[in-house]
Amino acid sequence: MPGVPVGDFEISLIRSSIYWWDGGVLFGVVPKTLWSRKCPADELNRIPLGFNSYVIRTGDHTILLDTGPGDKMDARARERAKMPAVSEPLPEAIARHGLDPEAIDIVVNSHLHWDHAGGNTVLHGDRAVAAFPRARYFAPRGEWERAHERHVRDSVAYIHANYDPLVESGQMTLVDGDHEVAPGVWMRHAPGHTRAMTVVAAASRGQTFCFLSDLAPLAAHAQPTWVAALDLYPLESIATKTRWLAAAVEGNWICGFGHDPQADFARIHADPKTRFAASGLEA
Ligand SMILES: [Zn+2]
């Protein structure tokens, strides 16, 4: 799908690859008899997911939202997720979508989990260097703090080589709460999946695109009570999601999901049974 216009902005999806993950992990307390109708599982109970990044071209800036898995996973982890043995470097994936990776001057991480920040850096030997040398990087400070707690529950999700070299060099700015990274493009605090996660809302001429990241990893998560078992604060996920999706309906926003393997862009509408539902934008 070519870039989608949002006012003066143009938004493109970069899906660096498809991977497969346990469906139960994605749907938490929702019974499989319900979620498997929307996301059929394979013989190992895995469902297909995408590593979704978005590029916003504002005219003045080219902004990359999330950077996918990167190159720091071992062969076993890749095999478990049915990922290609070697990931296509994100700058190449961006070029394959007809965009110039060199033009990226801002990189935003909604949060610092490996599958959202892995492409921030690339390994040269055992040294991690910026994959987008020209860019200023932004991430929530609370994410960086959580990563360094090395909590037993989620330390596996954080790989320091994805952000510490950038923080040390001053190339990454850690932000507190809401933060405008470029005119009209805001990181907005959206707690639930983690304490400090943000969504990114880009508004131009009365139109809005919102990257929901892991607030709604799949279109099926538009139903507020469908919360991943991964979420550290599920009740907050429900409250945050209800608030953001109500705004999305009200403003007729175009939304993007963190991991949907098919829905590149979607609108949210009210639904009498599930409260909200998503419908994909036609190509
Ligand atoms: Zn995450």
Which pLDDT score is estimated for 84? 87
Q: What's the CA-to-centroid distance between 92 and ligand 1, angstroms? A: 23
CA pair distance 89, 70, nearest whole angstrom: 7
pLDDT at 245: 98
Q: 245 CA to middle of ligand 1, Å? A: 19
Percentage of residues of the chain with pLDDT beyond 90: 94
CA of 229 to the centre of ligand 1 (A): 11
Res 1: pLDDT: 53
283 pLDDT higher than 70:
no
The confidence score (pLDDT) of residue 206 equals: 97
Q: Is the pLDDT of residue 221 over 70?
A: yes
Cα(110) to ligand 1 centroid in Å equals: 9
Residue 105 pLDDT > 60: yes
**Tokens 């983690």 belong to residue:** 194
| pLDDT in the model for residue 23 | 98
Return the H-helix or E-strand segment holding 133.
Answer: none
Q: Quick one: DSSP state of residue 173?
A: E
From CA 153, how far away is CA 203, in angstroms rounded?
A: 36
* pLDDT higher than threshold 90 for residue 163: yes
* Residue-wise pLDDT tens digits, 36-55: 999 999 999 999 999 999 99
CA of 158 to the centre of ligand 1 (A): 10
Q: Distance from CA of residue 68 to its chain's centroid?
A: 8
Which pLDDT value is given to residue 114?
97
d(CA 44, CA 214): 23
Using the predicted structure, report yes or no on whether residue 160 has a pLDDT greater than 70.
yes
- Gap from CA of 228 to ligand 1 centroid (Å): 10
Summarize the confidence of residues 74-101 as an average pLDDT. 92
Average pLDDT of the residues in 72-96: 91
Q: Whole-prediction pTM value?
A: 0.97
Q: pLDDT tens-digit profile of 225-261? A: 999 999 999 999 999 999 999 999 999 999 999 999 9
Residue 256 Cα to ligand 1 midpoint, Å, equals 15
Mean pLDDT of 139-163: 97
Using the mean position of ligand 1's atoms as its centre, give its distance from the Cα of residue 22 in Å. 14
Find the mean pLDDT for residues 206-231.
98
Query: Ligand 1 centroid to 205 CA: how many Å?
Result: 31
How far, in Å, from the CA of 122 to the mean position of ligand 1? 20
* Strands 266-271, 127-130: pairing kind: unpaired
Of the listed ranges 73-87, 100-114, 226-240, the one predicted with least confidence: 73-87
List phi, psi (to 5°) of 45.
70, 20
| Degrees, nearest 5: CA angle 235-113-78 | 120
Q: Over pLDDT 70: what percentage of the chain? A: 99
- Gap from CA of 283 to ligand 1 centroid (Å): 28
- The mean of the pLDDT values for the chain is 96
How confident is the model at residue 86, as a pLDDT? 84
The owner of tokens 């950077």 is 67
Predicted confidence band of residue 208 (pLDDT cuts 50, 70, 90): very high
pLDDT over threshold 60, residue 66: yes
